[in-house]
Amino acid sequence: MPADLPPPGVVSEVATGVRRILAPNPGPMTGPGTNTYLVGQSEVAVVDPGPDEPAHLDAVAAAGGGAIRWILVTHHHSDHAPGASALAQRTGATVLGRGGAGAFRPGMTIDEGHVLRVGGSEVVALHTPGHASDHLCYLRPEDGLLFSGDHVMDGSTVVIAPPDGDMASYMDGLRRLAALPGLSAIAPGHGALITEPYRRLASYLDHRLDRERAVLHALDRMGRATVEDLVAAVYTDVPDSVHPVARFSVWAHLRKLADEGRAAASDPDDVGATWRSAR
């Protein structure tokens, strides 16, 4: 666990007026666990309540000290959204999110550009699909702090799992975030605060472009290949345990390449399809 991440249940201040509590759900996909943030003091917006874990939600509610008015959810995944309704019951807060994916139903549906006023600050929603179709990042413009949910993480790999996950949208989202002026730090859904946001965004994009080139190169070389064949050819640098995730990534890259006319399959919606180069 990074030095910057105290154990679950401990409140730590990560930026001015922003506190973080780690949920007790570590794992291969969640790293140390889900970060729940409390933004503001006199009025508080919670970002990502995490799983429906009573001890965690009790700790978040206690840290809020009766001031939690809003619960902002980045996306519907099981490690981010399910605690929302139970935290709302504890606090009377309104649950905000984009909705439209999975089982998560926000009390108030918000979308790109929604501005929430929290105490003297503003928090702006940015629609960043790719990891999940309903994914919102939240930006505090006054100091350029970005709550990135699972679009950008620290220490673990972002999974792009079609069909709700979409590689082209994901990479567009990275470019969009990299073009935002004045980012000071990224508060990710998993891992430590990222204090060099532009460097991290650039390396994320480079990594995806490298993989895309490698997938296309392997496909050209093999002529016809399945996702499995391409994982074996391209992911030579990662342990087999990562291959289930790699399968989703390769499939997501192939679907993007198909949309661009650079690869083709009889059924891009079938993870078991045989692909060919279309160049």
Query: How many residues contact Zn ion, by CB under 5 A?
Result: 2
Closest distance of CB 42 from Zn ion, Å: 31
- Considering only residues 258 to 277 of the shown chain, the ones binding Zn ion according to CB under 5 A are none
Q: Is 77 in the site for Zn ion (CB under 5 A)?
A: yes
3-state per-residue secondary structure call for the chain: CCCCCCCCCCCEEEECCEEEEECCCCECCCECCCEEEEECCCCEEEECCCCCCHHHHHHHHHHHCCCEEEEECCCCCCCCCCHHHHHHHHHCCEEEECCCCCCCCCCEECCCCCEEEECCEEEEEEECCCCCCCCEEEEECCCCEEEEECCCCCCCCCCCCCCCCCHHHHHHHHHHHHCCCCCCEEEECCCCCECCHHHHHHHHHHHHHHHHHHHHHHHHHHCEEEHHHHHHHHCCCCCHHHHHHHHHHHHHHHHHHHHCCCEEECCCCCCCCEEEECC
Closest distance of CB 135 from Zn ion, Å: 8
Choose the binding region for Zn ion from 74-82, 95-103, 163-171, 180-188 (rule: CB under 5 A).
74-82
Closest distance of CB 217 from Zn ion, Å: 29
Closest distance of CB 84 from Zn ion, Å: 14
- Residue 77 or 211 with smaller CB distance to Zn ion: 77
Choose the binding region for Zn ion from 40-48, 117-125, 144-152, 221-229 (rule: CB under 5 A).
144-152
- Considering only residues 156 to 195 of the shown chain, the ones binding Zn ion according to CB under 5 A are none
- Residue 230 or 252 with smaller CB distance to Zn ion: 252
Contact residue for Zn ion among 48, 150, 154, 166 (CB under 5 A): 150
Closest distance of CB 146 from Zn ion, Å: 16
Choose the binding region for Zn ion from 10-18, 61-69, 145-153, 253-261 (rule: CB under 5 A).
145-153
Residues found near Zn ion in the complex (CB under 5 A): 77, 150
